[in-house]
Structure 1
Amino acid sequence: MIEYDIVIIGGTAAGRYAALKASQYGAKAALVEPSTNPESICIDALIEITNSLQKLKNSNKFGIYDSHLETQNKYEHTLQWQALIQQILQIESHLGKIDAPAVLSAKGVDIIYGDGKFQAEPNLAFVVNNRQLIGRNYLLANGSIATIPEIEGLSKTGFLTLGNFWQALNVVTPPQDWVIIGGVPQSIELTQILQNFGFNVTLVVQQATIIPFIDEEIAFQLQTQLEASGIRVLTDSEVTQVRLIDGKKWLQVGDKAIETDEIVIVSGQQPNIESLNLAEVGVKWHKNRLLVNRKLQTTHHKIYACGDVIGGYALNNIANYEAQIAVNNALFFKHLQVNYESIPWGILTNPNLAQVGLTEAQAINRYDSSQILILKQYFKTLVSAQISDETTGICKLVILQDGTILGANIIGKNATELINIVTLAIHKKIKVSSLQNLAPIQPSFAEIFAIMANNWQQLRLENSPRWQEFLETLFQFRRERNW
């Protein structure tokens, strides 16, 4: 007998979001939470704090001075690290209460604590604490674990991951020199966080660009900003060996030997599926992801998956989007499909980086290059950027000649907010010409889209002799007849 409409194997924000959606529909849902959740740190909170530090550092540009801070050689001298970490852990606790199991339980979700696994016989079920949970469908939203590269001496020397790096900060005197290995959004965010706190940071990226799948010009701009702030960035570089010499960690990176106090591995994730007995129920995976179709069904039609358990970057907005698709398909008519080209993603660096849809290179690969038009606008042309001293930035729109928006790539202040405007335009098939009608409040960073739409209209006019001739004839006719 089917006990639940959906059984969610969770322990992640996406799992809890899925449980919330199921409860809103009135479905009978179970959420399986692990027995213990490792204590983590809210990296978003750290980013906000470092941004505040940056504003303090730059306040003298506006004639604002802090005599106490002026006496310090480095801003980290003014920080009480243990108090800071405790404050951030408190923020994490408050955020966790928003969709806490107790809240979901009050909405009708059955919360089961424990580590379980699937069984195939006599009926498909998920077994937790010797209890069979039988659902019409199941959703895997149990996240991923860090992938640790095979580097000689790494395990012996010791390293940190995104889940526990903060513990090295939760001491009276934190390490001063850090090496971050990996080219994913979180590695770049962490690199800038540590640098803004005054530490010496080296970022080692194996690929040729600082992060794959983004516009090359935007990637170059991001790397330039990191390097200008004092971060050492090594792209197209591989760590081949790690050793501990006289209490210091040494890394061999290509032909360079780098000395550091701490190493953080943020190079990628692998699905957290080892104990789930998926092979017995016919669920297949390949390397670092579960195999799913566009409806987010695994190779077992009753088992869905969402979030970084199916690969890709560990980004909350994408995981929640997938959770919503999977829950709807599991509960209803299985007709929804994911479309990642209409979903934005970003990196919370300073300045922000955000992207939606196709990059210039991807568009050229898909369409004839003569069909593609690139609109580009620099943030320094905006009044808001000048007022706030946030002039570093570029907005690129990738469009077809008829004005259809294929994608946007932005680096600059509020990029992660601005990208939502383009996302809505792509989703609703709004062409670039309609962006002229935004009439954004002035001054604001959103003005950049109205400027770009005007530039597109001007470009179309310049490239259309017939329109120019028509308009010239029209205005001459009206002037001659005083009409």
Structure 2
Amino acid sequence: MTIDYDVVIIGGSLAAYYAALAATQLHATVALVEPKVDYGFTHHHALTEIGKLAQKLDNGCAFGIHATHANTSEECHVSMVWQEAMLYAQCVASNLKEQHSPAILAARGVDVIVGNGQFQSSPQLAFAVNKRLLRARTYLLASGSRPEIPEIEGLQATGYLTLSNIWQSLQGATLAKNWVIIGGIPQSVEIAQTLARFGCSVTLVVKHRYILPDVDPEIAILLQAQLEVEGVRVLTEKPVTQVRLIEGKKWVQARDKAIETDEILVATGQQPNLESLNLAAVGVKWHRLSLVVNDKLQTTNHRIYACGDVIGGYDLANIANYEAKIALNNALFFPRLRVNYHSIPWAIFSALMLAQVGLTEAQAKRQFGRDEVLVLRQYFKTVAAAQLRGETTGMCKLIVLRNGEILGASILGGEAGELINLISLAMSQKIKVKDLANLSPVYPSFSEILEQTAREWSKEKLNSNIPLQEFLEGFFHFRRNWNL
């Protein structure tokens, strides 16, 4: 059997680029087949950061824009800021596109092939693209996903935007004033806040009890409160039943609420890009929302692996890259590595920023029992760096066992994305909570909250052990009375 490559990677996602470059570092021969390049994620994060900046400006200017006349309208000002923001996002996207250009990848040893292809099984397993057969020892699917569109009466006829086309459709266009965002995923929360900070009236409609079903409820409630403070109307437990276009206006029916809006964004979830790959012919099974893989990230064809949101879950780059490392090593060498998401963090780029790793309080108590789990909390208002920066809203929540093992953490507040990385490292290296309590972080810094939260462990453990507490109180009383 003729082999052209050690691995052929299929997809234009960030995880695909990451895996391709990692393969070259392992001295493997690698081809990357990308049907198209989508940098919508770049616009999304760039505009999120700009939204934070716009919120901090006190009726002033952004990107050098000043109101030169007293009667300059707020709408005109917002429109100018929006156009500047879109221009900035396009520049960032252009820079990242250059970093992932075929020329750069080729210079690092990746054979880049642009085009749509599919698997074939006869006479041997191969991937056909541009009238060429790519034969490899193994294959890695990193083709990403596209928006899942729910079956809502009238939605198709009325029209809507999705995560894949929202920023492109707004380039050079006037920003709609009223928005309804359907869905409770990280991107829907981020976009809702960004649009609100650009002066839009935003309603976020979620069918679940909390805005994000996978987030610790205590943290989710705080995040929802922050969104509402900034003007986002949040409707929970309100599944959308129908959409109508009435006299040129779009109407969304969310249970007992009828909402008039200019634009609708559907952000309920993703579904994998798989249909055109001819997977059935090579024995690869998949469901509507994900590929079928084992804990080594092998599909039902042992020579084909997969990573990223093509196997389900949130569209989060760091998790996709983690999966790419596992899948690539198993594909190139002996398949022995297994995925373990316990210490892999993830974050929502809202402001306040939300980050989480490991088990939530409810998950830990179900798994280990209520009496074995301690919940440690500390609030950002106690941190000097938060006070100096004026970001005192938020909390840090650690979930630990009585023996000090860290099971998980949820952080909402300043620098949450950086702080959660430290907790993730501690969990992966089996560092216990008492070691976090012994940190001496730079002062002032947001890392103080980790030390402060960890110190609550000894208090909680003491309070939950009444006989020991009474013994210690008696001991210190004895010392005081006898001047020991």
What TM-score, normalized by structure 1, do the two folds share? 0.93
Q: Deviations over 1:226-272 (max 9, x none)?
A: 11111111111122221212221111111221111111111111110
Report if the CA contact (8 A) 2:78-2:198 is conserved: no
Report if aligned partners of 2:146, 2:164 keep a CA contact under 8 Å in 1.
no
Q: After superposition, where does 1:21-60 map in structure 2 within 5 Å? A: 21-34=22-35, 36-38=36-38, 40=40, 42-57=43-58
CA contact (8 A) 2:12 2:38 kept: no
- 1:406 is paired with a residue of what secondary structure? strand
C-alpha distance in structure 2 between counterparts of 1:304 and 1:90, whole Å: 34
Conserved? CA contact 2:296–2:337, under 8 Å: yes
- Counterpart of 1:148 in structure 2 is 149
- Would the alpha carbon gap of residues 160 and 106 (structure 1) be closer, same or farther in structure 2, given more than 3 Å must change? same
Q: Which runs of 5+ in 2 are unaligned?
A: none
Q: 1:276 to 1:249 in 2, by over 3 A?
A: same
- In 2, Cα distance between the equivalents of 1:302 and 1:168? 39
The alignment partner of 1:42 has SS state of helix
Inter-partner Cα distance in structure 2 for 1:432 and 1:446: 14
Which amino acid in structure 1 is aligned with residue 411 of structure 2?
I
Q: Using the TM superposition, give the Cα deviation of residue 444 of structure 1 relative to its aligned residue in structure 2, in angstroms.
A: 1.0
* Distance in 1 of aligned mates of 2:308 and 2:59: 38
The verdict on how the C-alpha distance between 1:177 and 1:78 changes in structure 2, with shifts beyond 3 A counting, is: closer
Does structure 2 retain, via aligned residues, the 8 Å contact 1:76–1:197? no
User: For residues 284 and 143 of structure 1, what CA distance do their matches in structure 2 show?
Assistant: 16
d(CA) in 2 for partners of 1:255 and 1:27?
Answer: 58
* Per-residue deviation, 1:436: 2.1
Aligned runs of 1:59-138 on 2, under 5 Å?
A: 74=74, 77-80=77-80, 81-138=82-139
1:4-47 deviations in whole A, cap 9, x for unaligned? 1100002111101000000011100010011x435635211111
Aligned mates of 2:475, 2:366 — CA distance in 1: 41
Instruction: State whether structure 2 residue 379 is matched by structure 1 residue 374.
Output: no
May I ask how many residue pairs the two structures share in their alignment? Answer: 476
Alpha-carbon distance in 2 for matches of 1:349, 1:39 = 20
Q: 2 CA distance for matches of 1:480 and 1:365? A: 47
Deviations 1:58-110 (A, max 9, x none): 999xxxxx986997664772442334323211111102222332211111111
Aligned to 2:432: 431
Moved more, 270-279 or 253-262: 253-262
- Written as runs of structure 1 = structure 2, the 5 A alignment for 1:300-339 is 300-339=301-340
1:172–1:466 distance in 2 versus 1, CA, 3 Å: closer
Q: Tell me if the contact between 1:30 and 1:110 (Cα under 8 Å) persists in the aligned partners.
A: yes
C-alpha root-mean-square deviation of aligned residues, in Å? Answer: 2.4
Asked if 2 retains the 8 angstrom alpha-carbon contact of 1:69 and 1:75, the reply is no
Q: Which residue of 2 aligns with 1:195?
A: 196
Counterpart amino acid of residue 347 in structure 1: I
1:168–1:175 CA contact under 8 A, matched in 2:
no
Q: Deviations over 1:274-333 (max 9, x none)?
A: 100001111101120001111110111110000010000000111111111111111112
Amino acid of the structure 1 residue aligned with 2:189: I
Query: Residues 169 and 175 of structure 1 are in contact (CA less than 8 Å); yes or no, is this contact kept in structure 2?
Result: no
1:250 equivalent to 2:251? Answer: yes
Q: Secondary structure in 2 aligned to 1:139?
A: strand
Q: How far apart, in 2, do the equivalents of 1:409 and 1:148 lie?
A: 30
Secondary structure of 1:440 counterpart: coil
Alpha-carbon deviation of 1:153? 1.4
Q: Say whether the 8 Å CA contact 1:69–1:78 is kept in structure 2.
A: no
Which residue of the partner structure matches residue 453 of structure 1?
Answer: 454
Q: 1:436 to 1:134 in 2, by over 3 A?
A: same
Q: 2:377 touches 2:456 (CA, 8 Å); kept in 1?
A: no
CA distance in 1, matches of 2:10, 2:267: 25
Percentage identity across paired residues of the two chains: 54
Change (3 A) 1:225 1:68: farther
SS at match of 1:457: helix
Query: TM-score, normalized by length of structure 2?
Result: 0.93
Contact 1:292/1:310 (CA < 8 Å) preserved in 2? Answer: yes
Aligned to 1:280: 281
**Cα gap change, 1:221/1:478 in structure 2, threshold over 3 Å: closer, same or farther?**
closer
Change (3 A) 1:455 1:59: farther
Matched residue SS, 1:97: helix
Deviations 1:194-213 (A, max 9, x none): 00100000111112210111
Instruction: Report the Cα distance in structure 1 between the residues aligned to 2:203 and 2:128, rounded to whole angstroms.
Output: 45
Q: Decide whether the 8 Å contact of 1:75 with 1:197 is kept in 2.
A: no
Give me the whole-angstrom Cα distance separating, in 2, the residues matched to 1:466 and 1:145: 57
